[in-house]
Amino acid sequence: MPTLFSPPFALACGIACGMLFTNPFEKQSRALAKWLLQFSVVALGFGMNLGEVMHAGRASFLYTAIGLTAAMGVGLTLGKILKVQSKAAFLITAGTAICGGSAIAALAPITNPDEEELAMSLGTIFTLNSVALFAFPAIGLALHLTQTQFGLWAALAIHDTSSVVGAAAKFGPHALAIGTVVKLTRALWIVPVALLTALANKSEARVKLPWFILFFCLAAAAKTCFQGAAVWFQKFSEAGHLGLALTLFLIGTGISVKTVKQAGGRVMAQGICLWIIVASASLMAIRAGWITL
């Protein structure tokens, strides 16, 4: 893919715009980025083999479950130690453990945080996502990680799907395939977590199912079963890469000085500490061979 459309470059351009100019369509940009990301993930499925997708999904189910449980426990403990508001602490923890901004957006209607708590949580996650997209590939290269190892690490340690896919795509095609599948497996945990949260809060808020993950699997099945349409599937996959770049540009425009300030010192400290713990523990486990596909 040309450098112009590479995920890090697209995000950097978006952040530059966000820092230099005020986005008058911030809410619309976030909504468009959400739908564009889902389209891009489905389109990327046309470039993957269903057998590999199913294998990676089954193998990573236990890893994501263990990672989720550990991250939730550590995150909530850090929130208490740092005296972070309970709802903000929960949202930061869930965002780190599951799927970043998507988890926060799904859980916010159930937990009913005030605007400040929600802004602090999203600001922290968006900021750390931006750092991850640039830092993870550099660390992976420095440590001579294989593409499988990097794909696993990115999927288990980076918050949002967009940054996982962006970082993995930068590292290599096999890393992209592994990272996408494992990350989507991790994202599925938002459903049981949301249901348990709703039960604990006696909330009647509707839990939204991530249907685009099913369409991703169907796209991989089509690519595997209908070899005669390989040329068209390749074009769909390329459209997915382009859509991802546009998604990251839109996300970048939402990163501004105001966004970083909104995160707040204690909330940002919780987010950074939890992220470092999750990233370090998963990396050590992968390099030791405890987590493998």
Sequence-distant (6+) residues with CB within 8 A of 89 are 75, 76, 78, 79, 80, 267, 270
CA 234 to chain CA centroid, Å, is: 24
Q: What is the pLDDT of residue 33?
A: 85
Q: Which two tokens stand for residue 108?
A: 């916010």
Q: What is the pLDDT of residue 1?
A: 45
Q: What gap in Å lies between CA 172 and CA 122, rounded to an integer?
A: 29
Contact in structure between 178 and 168 (CB atoms under 8 Å): yes
Task: Kindly tell me the burial class for residue 277, based on how many C-beta atoms sit within 10 Å of its own C-beta (0-12, 13-18, 19 or more).
Answer: middle
Contact in structure between 93 and 79 (CB atoms under 8 Å): yes
Q: What gap in Å lies between CA 266 and CA 276, rounded to an integer?
A: 15
Q: Which two tokens stand for residue 260?
A: 């970083």
Q: What is the pLDDT of residue 274?
A: 96
Q: Residue 98 has what DSSP assignment?
A: I
User: How far lies 182's CA from each of 101, 122, 176, in Å?
Assistant: 18, 23, 10
Query: In b/e form, how buried is each residue of 153-165, taking b as 16+ CB within 10 angstroms?
Result: bbbbbbbbbbbbb
Q: What is the pLDDT of residue 2?
A: 46
Q: What gap in Å lies between CA 118 and CA 175, rounded to an integer?
A: 32
Q: Digits of tens for pLDDT over the chain (293 positions)?
A: 444 567 778 888 888 888 888 778 878 888 888 888 889 989 988 988 888 888 888 888 889 999 999 999 999 999 999 998 889 899 999 999 998 888 888 888 888 888 778 878 888 888 898 899 899 999 999 999 999 999 999 999 999 888 999 999 889 999 999 999 999 999 889 888 988 888 888 777 777 777 888 899 899 899 899 988 889 998 998 888 888 888 888 888 877 777 666 666 888 899 999 999 999 999 999 999 998 87
* Closest listed residue to residue 103, CA positions, set 112, 95, 114, 92: 95
Q: What is the pLDDT of residue 263?
A: 62
